[in-house]
Amino acid sequence: MPDQEDLRTVPPPPLQGVRVLDVSTLFAGPLAATFLGDFGADVIKVEHPTRPDASRGHGPQKDGVNLWWKTLGRNKRTVTIDLSTDAGADVLLRLIADADVMIENFRPGTLERWGLSPERLHEANPRLVLARVTAFGQFGPYSSRPGFGSLAEAMSGFAALTGDPDGPPTLPPFGLADGIAALATSYAVMAALRGAERDGRGQVVDMAIIEPILMLLGGQITAWDQLGLVQPRTGNRSVNNAPRNVYRSRDDVWLAVSTSSQSIAERVMRIVGRAELIDEDWFASGHERARHADELDDAVQSWIGAHDAAEVVAAFEAASAAVAPVYDVRGVVDDPQYRALGTVVRVPDEELGDIAMQNVLFRMSRTPGSIRWAGRPHGADTDEVLGEAGFSDADITALREAGAV
């Protein structure tokens, strides 16, 4: 245990003193705010008084309490404001005066219609970083369309690459594009904050959800531009190396094997008793090995299928080859590596008691992030936040009676 002197010298979290207004809904915008809150930012979640963030209704519930919100809403204080009313817009402008960041994901033109254009917001606070997260961006022929991450997964080429070669394109069963956009948004906000720190001027971040996922799909655009290549669907295989697939063990456990480096590919062939394949001319290139994926997959599956999963993992570990079991959530929470990293933590919660969730994204040696509380009830902190902004009890009562908060 550290002594009191040690505790006094522990630096504050890196984003302490940064105030973020999360005026977004569903996943990409709110998750970006969550990432900032995990490292100390004071995140104020702004929701409509009678129409809470729709994410509060997604997924399973316990005793009427949404469980996904407990993670998505962690480290956020929740307030209710009807931004479409003049009084509500005025309340937001009061909050903007002391904020560093605002994240919103209304359709382009909505804030402007409410008298809350970027120009008006920057009049209230020239240092403000305004992150605008939409499906298609703030301009262009699709900018006014409604859209969600699923459309980005389709338009980016991700779905076209995913699935079996003779099957349909496949969408992921979770918000992949939203999550990638959230990471990109939090990065963009940090870059913009650094700029504001340097010259005292904020700016607008235009984040289109269709773009970050496209960046992660690799060099496909360049390959198309230079060679006219269109990457096909290959199931669990890779066009860049082989063997790379999932294989079923004797005790009916699926195991993933990857051979992205030449040395690992050679080790796998020795493990499965097919060392003679290493001497084939085509084996020296990952791309050429991928052309012989049927032969390599047969060799690996035959060996793995004759052994229990524990034997397979032990043999691969002894040979320094890459293998991992295919987990569902039960495997994740029981895995010793995740436990060692502290990837899953238990958080006290006022509604549900002690609950488990994913920890912050990474570890920092000097200024680590933390989960200070789980997602709060709708509007639980309205009086506190407005009081900090200078509203009296009478003001808040009048705003509430008018439906503005």
- Is-contact 193 169, C-beta < 8 A? no
Question: d(Cα 142, Cα 136) in Å, to the nearest integer?
Answer: 6
Number of domains the chain contains: 2
User: Considering the domain boundaries, does residue 9 fall inside one?
Assistant: no
Do 139 and 187 share a structural domain? Answer: yes
Do 125 and 45 share a structural domain? Answer: yes
SS3 35: helix
Do 322 and 265 share a structural domain? Answer: yes
Where a domain ends, among 292, 326, 360? 326
What's the pLDDT at 5? 47
Question: d(Cα 405, Cα 46) in Å, to the nearest integer?
Answer: 10
Do 318 and 359 share a structural domain? Answer: no
Question: d(Cα 72, Cα 182) in Å, to the nearest integer?
Answer: 11
Neighbours of 17 (CB within 10 A): 11
SS3 302: helix
What's the pLDDT at 30? 98
User: Considering the domain boundaries, does residue 144 fall inside one?
Assistant: yes
Positions marked active-site: 178
User: Considering the domain boundaries, does residue 24 fall inside one?
Assistant: yes
User: In sequence order, what are the residues at sequence separation of 6 or more whose Cβ sits closer than 8 angstroms to the Cβ of residue 247?
Assistant: 254, 255, 257, 297, 300, 301, 304, 305
What's the pLDDT at 376? 98
**H runs (alpha helix) in 352-405:** 382-388, 393-401
In a 13 Å sphere around the CA of 211, the CA atoms on its Cβ side amount to 11
- Is-contact 257 244, C-beta < 8 A? yes
Do 319 and 193 share a structural domain? Answer: no
SS3 132: strand
User: Considering the domain boundaries, does residue 52 fall inside one?
Assistant: yes
Do 196 and 108 share a structural domain? Answer: yes
SS3 293: helix
Question: Domain span at residue 262?
Answer: 245-326
What CATH number does residue 320 fall under? 3.30.1540.10
Neighbours of 355 (CB within 10 A): 18
pLDDT per residue of the chain (405 residues) written in tens, 0 to 9: 344 445 557 799 999 999 999 999 999 999 999 999 999 999 999 999 999 999 999 999 999 999 999 999 999 999 999 999 999 999 999 999 999 999 999 999 999 999 999 999 999 999 999 999 999 999 999 999 999 999 999 999 999 999 999 999 999 999 999 999 999 999 999 999 999 999 999 999 999 999 999 999 999 999 999 999 999 999 999 999 999 999 999 999 999 999 999 999 999 999 999 999 999 999 999 999 999 999 999 999 999 999 999 999 999 999 999 999 999 999 999 999 999 999 999 999 999 999 999 999 999 999 999 999 999 999 999 999 999 999 999 999 999 999 999
